[in-house]
Amino acid sequence: MPRYVSNLVVWIAVLSVCFAKLPANEPDDRTTDPAPLKWRNLENVYRLSPRITSGSAPMDDVAFATLADEGVTTVVSVDGARPRVELARKHRLRYVHVPIGYDGLSRDAELALVRVMQKTTGSVYIHCHHGKHRGPAAAAVACLAEGSVDRAGAVHILEVAGTAESYRGLWHDVQAFELPSAEEQLPDLVEIAEVDGMVEAMANIAIATEHLHDLAGNDWVPLADRPDVEAQQAALLLWEGFREAKRFSEKEDEPKIQAALAAAEQQASRLRKIIESGETASAARALAALEASCKTCHARHRDNR
């Protein structure tokens, strides 16, 4: 046997032994734990891949400055509220608006996220309002689109972020996501999307409720980092949000949702009057009752597909 043939046989044998020793269940690098980050004026921030981070909505100048300082170049909002594009531009950040609901991601939304990953450069920050449910789901799809996680890794993102299991549509759509075919056209990316009136109203309700919840924990006085957010104004915006949501539900002919929103509007009106009267103890109880009603309504009408 020629010498070079003999050497080749030896090398093949060595390589066979080496590969045979690799464990069959070797962990996939794409399913590593998302890394929690502490960024100024942002909550629930996780590094999901070298390029993708998810978290809460940037609400002020400090939050946008933080994103810029951390190297973010593109901010993607999947919330229904209008993105704060002026603040983003101030810090030379590009805003992309891809609003989704708690019931899941439409195919158009998925394709928009694919386009974000294909057509933008640099670090991408994806957010909803709190950074726990819709944002992580969208970010998981973006990670699947760029190939930085597999399906197990995408689901793990929801687990780590604390995405509620009751949002079945979000979990389903992350697990069922498929990359676009050659025939599918990716949509244009926009700074501010046209949002359904109901979606926008519910987004505003969520913001006002969070403000009131924070104020209640601070004896109903403005927080040091948000001195412009005060209880009477937040209560007014909450009441107006329910009024708007009820109006849009009437257009959609949803009698059960109309009844629930009408009751919530009355509770919000009562809460507003209590806050205006300065009865802080009663205000805390009224807010808790309203939040409980909202959770019941969500369980019946929003959380399931």
Q: Work out the angle at residue 60's Cα, subtended by the Cα atoms of residues 59 and 66, and round it to the nearest 5 degrees.
A: 100
CA distance 74 to 88: 9
The pTM (predicted TM-score) of the whole model is 0.67
Percent of the chain residues topping a pLDDT of 70: 87
Range scoring the smallest mean pLDDT among 62-66, 103-107, 110-114: 103-107
Pick the residue with more confidence: 206 or 132? 132
Q: Topology of 197-301 in CATH?
A: Four Helix Bundle (Hemerythrin (Met), subunit A) (1.20.120)
Domain at 29-176: CATH code: 3.90.190.10
Residue type, 13: A
Tokens of 305: 């597909």
Rg for the chain, CA atoms, rounded:
24
The band of 189, judged by pLDDT with boundaries at 50, 70 and 90, is: very high
> Quick one: pLDDT at residue 207?
84
Q: Where in the chain is the domain with CATH 1.20.120?
A: 197-301
The larger pLDDT score, comparing residue 134 to residue 257, is at 134
Q: Is 50 left (phi over 0), alpha (psi -120 to 50) or beta?
A: alpha
Q: Provide the pLDDT for residue 2.
A: 53
Q: Are 283 and 220 in contact (CB under 8 A)?
A: yes
Here the tokens at position 264 are 């919530």
Spatial separation of the C-alpha atoms in residues 138 and 150, rounded to whole Å: 15
**What are the tens digits of pLDDT across the range 252-298?**
667 888 888 999 999 999 999 999 999 888 999 999 999 888 888 77
Are 126 and 52 within 8 A, CB to CB? yes
Specify the pLDDT at position 126: 98
Q: Tell me the sheet residues that pair with 47.
A: 35, 53
Token duo for residue 17: 């032994």
Residues of the chain with CATH 3.90.190.10: 29-176
Are 271 and 283 in contact by the 8 Å Cβ rule? The answer is yes
Instruction: Give residue 25's pLDDT.
Output: 35
